[in-house]
Structure 1
Amino acid sequence: MTIQIGKYQLEFSSEVRTILLGHRQLGRADPEAGGIVLGRLFEDRISICRLSVPTELDKRSRSYFERHRISGQSIVEYEFFNSSGQINYFGEWHTHPEASPTPSSRDIKMIREQFKLNTLNMDFLLLLIQGYSHLFIAVLDKSGIASASVPHPQ
């Protein structure tokens, strides 16, 4: 699946699509899931090739997800090292218990803080939010946030 958002072309691997679909909150009590977005950059083409999945250390409820920082950083470092620096941290993903998700003020604050405070190898960050039927995608860079909502990836 390939999606154009602003100047960026995003490509989603089949593994990533499977993880997103598999973690939709379809059951009434399903907690939010989430993790890290990893991939490769080819000029303005972003290849999203990996997503981390929730761990027992993450905080989760029906309408809340907080990734454990230390385990998340370990994943980023592992992928970067084992790919000879080719796979990088691109942002965060999580689910919402709604059909067509929109980011909460907490979601926007989190991704802006990540962009401002972290040492990044890229000049952008991604925020993915998977709902029942749609995927919300935001790209944050120095010019602001560009976003789109698309039917869930097949």
Structure 2
Amino acid sequence: MNENWTFDVETLGTVRVANDLVSSLSQYRQFNHTIPESGGVLMGSFLNSNGALLIDNFTFPQKTDHQGRNNFFRSEAHNNLVHNIWQQSGQKTTYIGLWHTHPEPIPNFSFVDANDWRNALNISSYEGDFLFFMIVGTKSIRCWVGEKKRFRNSISLISEVQIAAK
């Protein structure tokens, strides 16, 4: 994959996911039963007032996270990393969403994932009304967009990218 993964989000604009980010996230794929779920936070920057967004940074699994074959709990360490990256970037690189892995070729979110995402939309501090949620499977990465709305938040599958074989 030589080009960035791009997709359009209605009322937001074009979203670009850096090729390096896709490559880095794909390193955490769960190809066998000894590899636990991993996850972290997605970060990026708004490129212009028209809503163009670049997702190009992430936090990697921390020692204080809880990882199992089919579960992952993100520890508070990620919040500190996000804050430090935000400060070091001159407050340009910001919290964009969450990522984690699943041991399936084409990942789908679980009930636990949906609850986590709804909590992130309702409780987290972030710029704008959108958060992105990526799940890394063994053959593809899928991205959902969550939109904070006045009465009821929405979460929709927005795009998928195939990952090169290991």
Cα deviations by residue, 1:56-115 (Å, 9 ceiling, x for unpaired): 11000110111102x111111111111111000011100000000000011111111111
Look up the match of 1:109.
Answer: 115
Look up the match of 2:98.
Answer: 92
Look up the match of 1:48.
Answer: 55
Superposed counterparts of 1:1-154, under 5 Å: 1-7=4-10, 8-42=13-47, 43-69=50-76, 71-143=77-149, 144-153=154-163
Determine helix, strand or coil for the equivalent of 2:118.
helix
Give yes or no for contact 2:9–2:158 (8 Å, CA) kept in 1: no
Question: TM-score if structure 1 supplies the norm length?
Answer: 0.91
Question: TM-score if structure 2 supplies the norm length?
Answer: 0.85
Name the count of aligned residue pairs: 153
Q: Which has the higher contact order (CA 8 A, sep 6+)?
A: 1
Runs of 4+ off more than 3 Å: none
Structure 1: any 5+ residue segments left out of the alignment?
Answer: none
Q: Which has the larger radius of gyration?
A: 2
Determine helix, strand or coil for the equivalent of 2:46.
strand
Give yes or no for contact 1:19–1:51 (8 Å, CA) kept in 2: no
Give how far 1:129 is off: 0.1
In 2, the alpha carbon distance for the partners of 1:81 and 1:75 equals 10
Which letter does structure 1 place at the counterpart of 2:160? Answer: V
Identity across matched positions, percent: 24
In 2, the alpha carbon distance for the partners of 1:14 and 1:39 equals 13
Give yes or no for contact 1:12–1:47 (8 Å, CA) kept in 2: yes
RMSD: 1.6
Query: 144-153 vs 128-137, which deviates more?
Result: 144-153
In 2, the alpha carbon distance for the partners of 1:6 and 1:12 equals 13
